[in-house]
Amino acid sequence: MDPEIKEMIRPKFDSLNGKDTTIRTLEITFFSSIAGAGASALSLAISPKGLAESALRTASLTATCAAVGAIFATTTGATASFRGKDTPLNYFIGGCTSGLFLGARMQSMGVGSGACAAFGSLGAFYKYWKINEWGPFIPPPKY
């Protein structure tokens, strides 16, 4: 694949530094909605239902994933802009906020607090990984 095209379609998770927050939010929302559509397709493949219920489940899951991505990108960008620093704490706050939204969506405090801790930790770890330039998590195979 052409490197320019590959760079263009790659989500910019590592550049949520408070600059271009609107564009980054739209990009991450787009990729999150694609992930939600994929998850709903997998869900329907596992347990198919009628057409109406399938359409509602697809719309609900896609919208939830898009909202989680948008909340993460907006909160992380706003936190970075407010603090003036691009640190893992910004990603933790963005991930925690996304987890709290998911808990509110599921109407469960347990899901919200667990998702807050999980998404926040994963976001902070991702940013820490990028800051230290540790490279790809799974290195490409060498033949």
Q: What is the pLDDT of residue 138?
A: 75
The sign one gets for the Cα dihedral 120, 124, 13, 140 is negative
Q: What is the pLDDT of residue 18?
A: 63
Q: In the chain, which residues have pLDDT < 70?
A: 1, 5-18
Who's near 19: CB < 8 A, 6+ residues apart? 81
* pTM recorded for the entire structure: 0.82
DSSP string computed for 59-123: HHHHHHHHHHHHHHHHHHHHHHHHHS---HHHHHHHHHHHHHHHHHHHT-HHHHHHHHHHHHHHH
Pick from 71, 77, 62: nearest CA to 21: 77
Listed by start position, the domains of the chain span 3-131
Is there a contact between 92 and 125 (Cβ–Cβ < 8 Å)?
Answer: no
